[in-house]
């Protein structure tokens, strides 16, 4: 066992033990505790849990990579703007009102606000979005285990599944929430320490956000010398319209993600829900303002290490990562020298994981980064799996099949559903449809096209009808999913229809959803006067009479 594998094993065992202990200490015996942690999580802790829930393997493992390579710097800003801007929408447009409505799940809100048919469509949409999203998390966990512990991807995914199964099934939302607070602490420390170390080593400035500016001109010049577009040049990888579409899909998708929205039901009050969103933005910003720096530092070092290097004389980190198939170089022109621009393939998912090795940092730091990546992947996976479990147990079994089920029966069904969801998630983790960030970006597009319109209209337009909501969700989700499958399977990496990438089509699907929902609502029966009044009252400050009755289950 190498030093890196040893330190990875040490940090993994320590952190996994902490997660399991927290889950055991937070075990629940009520549906309220299982689904929404009893609605008693403080704002700061809830903000950290939201950040961990949302900052998935895509944020930790892939974000810097897609900024550095897939989008060549400037264009990678779509992910920074989209994945953070969505929280502004959540804080202003959705979180406080959904918390005031007081339901366990997003389909629960849709069912009460619209109809039982709409509830079932929302359940289907939540499961689809969650499974697409969780595939990226399990794939990320498998990648870490493969590289840092020397086990196969299948074995790594199974280990991750086992850990998530234990603390998610035992503690439900309460166990997941407090585990995610610990996981956020692990992942942010693991991300920041190497970033500070590399920035200090390369520029002499410990703050990577400042040191980044010192090497940007050098990186631009080096890329131009290699015949590549400058790192800071605009619109080299994608057009301005597509930047707008992708940013919007990620932004509105963030505001429509079921596993993020349910977090606001765990807050103690409407006020706490607002503050939870603010704390989440702060915790997320710590990583997101650092990621562009990590991308630039690592890409500069990769270019310097590989370009012009003799075949067979590559640095140690290259050989290590080539063994797991995530980096390669070929001597296409037969001159025995690596031409970076034409003869190398770098997988986006290695940038953060390989950064400590590329920067020459010691083995304990590399092991800590691996533990942080696992924390990011498993924290989001657990939140997504709870959405699937609660949708099946609460919105299908309890609301439709057996309304007389006892709490014990509901918990049993919820835990069985959780176990089944973990098995399916494991399959997708072993057979992912793309690299981690790509898969996650697709989930955001599906969320934007299915949930965001009917949530906004359900809160702010009292005449939005059940048939309109069903038609909008079905149309938006179907069109967007069909386009994504068609583009990925048939075109591969092509631009697709009219040059719109699959990661940006969620915006089009969202606009179609809005249009269909509004149009159908004009010609179908309006909600009851009582529901229209309730929709008006959830936007009023304080607890009004109708809202109190609704939260108590009286109406």
- 512 or 428, which is more confident: 512
Q: What is the pLDDT of residue 432?
A: 65
Closest-CA residue to 190 (of 395, 376, 41, 65): 376
- 168 or 341, which is more confident: 341
* Range list of H helices, 344-451: 351-358, 363-390, 407-430, 436-450
Closest-CA residue to 88 (of 245, 268, 255, 250): 255
Q: What is the DSSP string of 174-191?
A: HHHHHHHHHHHHHHHHHH
- 28 or 107, which is more confident: 107
pLDDT digits (tens, 9 = 90+) for 139-182: 777 778 877 777 777 888 888 788 777 767 766 778 788 888 99
pLDDT digits (tens, 9 = 90+) for 301-317: 888 888 888 888 888 88
Mean pLDDT of 385-407: 83
pTM to 2 decimal places: 0.81
Q: What pLDDT band is residue 544 in, cutting at 50, 70 and 90? A: low
**CA 359 – CA 197 distance, rounded (Å):** 9
Q: Is the pLDDT of residue 14 over 80?
A: yes
Q: What is the pLDDT of residue 476?
A: 94
CA 363-371-444 angle, 5° bins: 130
Token pair 């202990």: residue: 21
327 close to 345: Cβ distance less than 8 angstroms: yes
Q: Is the pLDDT of residue 11 over 60?
A: yes
108 close to 391: Cβ distance less than 8 angstroms: no
Mean pLDDT of 356-382: 85
pLDDT digits (tens, 9 = 90+) for 258-278: 878 777 777 777 778 778 888
SS3 state of residue 346: strand
Q: Residue 296 gets which letter from DSSP?
A: H
Residues in CB range of 523: below 8 A, 6 or more apart:
none
Q: What is the pLDDT of residue 453?
A: 95
pLDDT digits (tens, 9 = 90+) for 181-238: 998 999 999 999 989 988 888 888 889 888 888 888 888 988 888 888 888 888 877 7
339 close to 26: Cβ distance less than 8 angstroms: no
Q: Which CATH superfamily is domain 3-302+314-524 in?
A: Sodium/glucose cotransporter (1.20.1730.10)
SS3 state of residue 359: coil
- 422 or 10, which is more confident: 10
Q: Is the pLDDT of residue 298 over 70?
A: yes
Q: What is the pLDDT of residue 492?
A: 46
Q: What is the pLDDT of residue 66?
A: 83
Mean pLDDT of 446-465: 93
Percent of the residues in the chain that have a pLDDT greater than 70, as a whole number: 92
208 close to 199: Cβ distance less than 8 angstroms: yes
- Mean model confidence pLDDT for the chain: 83
Query: Which pair of structure tokens corresponds to residue 449?
Result: 């096209």
Alpha carbon distance, N-terminus to C-terminus of the chain: 62
**CA 273 – CA 39 distance, rounded (Å):** 10
Query: Which pair of structure tokens corresponds to residue 502?
Result: 């699959």
105 close to 467: Cβ distance less than 8 angstroms: no
- 86 or 468, which is more confident: 468
Q: What is the pLDDT of residue 493?
A: 47
Q: Is the pLDDT of residue 541 over 70?
A: no
CA 542-545-548 angle, 5° bins: 75
Mean pLDDT of 105-128: 88
Q: What is the pLDDT of residue 491?
A: 41
Percent of the residues in the chain that have a pLDDT greater than 90, as a whole number: 14
Q: What pLDDT band is residue 554 in, cutting at 50, 70 and 90? A: low
pLDDT digits (tens, 9 = 90+) for 489-526: 544 445 567 778 888 889 999 999 999 999 999 999 99
Which of 20-24, 286-290, 491-495 has the highest mean predicted lDDT (pLDDT)?
A: 286-290
Residue 51's CB: how many other CB atoms inside 10 A?
29
Mean pLDDT of 103-112: 81
């Amino acid at each position: 066992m190498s030093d890196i594998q040893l330190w990875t094993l040490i940090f993994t065992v320590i952190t996994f033990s902490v997660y399991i202990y927290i889950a055991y200490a937070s075990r629940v015996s009520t549906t309220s505790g299982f689904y929404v942690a009893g609605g008693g999580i403080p704002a700061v802790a809830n903000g950290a849990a939201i950040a961990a829930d949302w900052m998935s393997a895509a944020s930790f493992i892939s974000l810097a990579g897609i900024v550095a390579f897939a989008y060549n710097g400037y264009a990678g800003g779509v992910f920074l703007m989209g994945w953070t801007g969505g929280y502004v929408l959540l804080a202003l447009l959705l979180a406080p009102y959904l918390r005031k409505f007081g339901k366990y799940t997003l389909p629960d809100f849709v069912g009460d606000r619209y109809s039982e048919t709409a509830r079932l469509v929302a359940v289907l949409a939540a499961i689809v979005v969650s499974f697409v999203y969780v595939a990226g998390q399990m794939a990320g966990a498998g990648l870490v285990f493969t590289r840092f512990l020397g086990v196969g991807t299948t074995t790594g995914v199974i280990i991750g599944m086992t850990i998530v199964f234990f603390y998610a099934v035992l503690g439900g939302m309460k166990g997941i929430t407090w585990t995610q607070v610990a996981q956020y602490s692990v992942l942010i420390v693991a991300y920041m320490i190497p970033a500070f170390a590399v920035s200090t080593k390369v520029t002499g400035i410990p703050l990577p956000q400042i040191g980044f500016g010192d090497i940007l001109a050098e990186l631009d010049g080096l890329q131009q010398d290699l015949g590549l577009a400058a790192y800071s040049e605009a619109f080299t990888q994608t057009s301005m319209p597509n930047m707008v579409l992708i940013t919007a899909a990620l932004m509105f998708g963030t505001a429509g993600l079921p596993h993020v929205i349910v977090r606001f039901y765990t807050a103690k009050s409407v006020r706490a829900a607002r503050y939870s969103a603010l704390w989440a933005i702060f915790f997320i910003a710590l990583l997101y303002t650092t990621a562009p720096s990590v991308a630039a530092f690592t890409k500069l070092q990769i270019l310097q290490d590989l370009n012009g290097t003799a075949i067979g004389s590559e640095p140690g980190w290259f050989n290590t990562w080539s063994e797991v198939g995530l980096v390669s170089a070929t001597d296409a022109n037969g001159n025995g020298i690596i031409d970076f621009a034409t003869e190398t393939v770098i997988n986006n998912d290695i940038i953060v994981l390989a950064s400590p090795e590329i920067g020459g940092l010691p083995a304990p730091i590399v092991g800590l980064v691996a533990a942080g990546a696992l924390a990011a992947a498993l924290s989001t996976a657990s939140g997504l799996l709870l959405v699937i479990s609660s949708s099946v147990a609460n919105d299908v079994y309890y609301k439709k099949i057996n309304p007389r089920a006892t709490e014990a029966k509901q918990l049993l069904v919820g835990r069985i559903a959780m176990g089944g969801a973990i098995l399916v998630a494991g399959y997708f983790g072993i057979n992912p449809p793309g690299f981690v960030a790509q898969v996650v970006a697709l989930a955001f597009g599906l969320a934007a096209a299915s949930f965001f319109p009917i949530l906004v209209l359900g809160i702010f337009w009292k005449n939005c009808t059940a048939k309109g909501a069903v038609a909008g969700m079905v149309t938006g989700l179907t069109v967007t999913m069909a386009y994504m499958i068609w583009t990925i399977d048939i075109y591969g990496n092509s631009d697709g229809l009219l040059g719109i990438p699959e990661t940006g089509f969620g915006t089009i699907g969202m606009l179609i959803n809005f249009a269909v929902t509004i149009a159908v609502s004009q010609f179908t029966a309006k909600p009851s006067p009582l529901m229209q009044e309730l929709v008006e009252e959830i936007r009023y400050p304080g607890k009004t009479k109708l809202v109190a009755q609704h939260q108590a289950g009286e109406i």
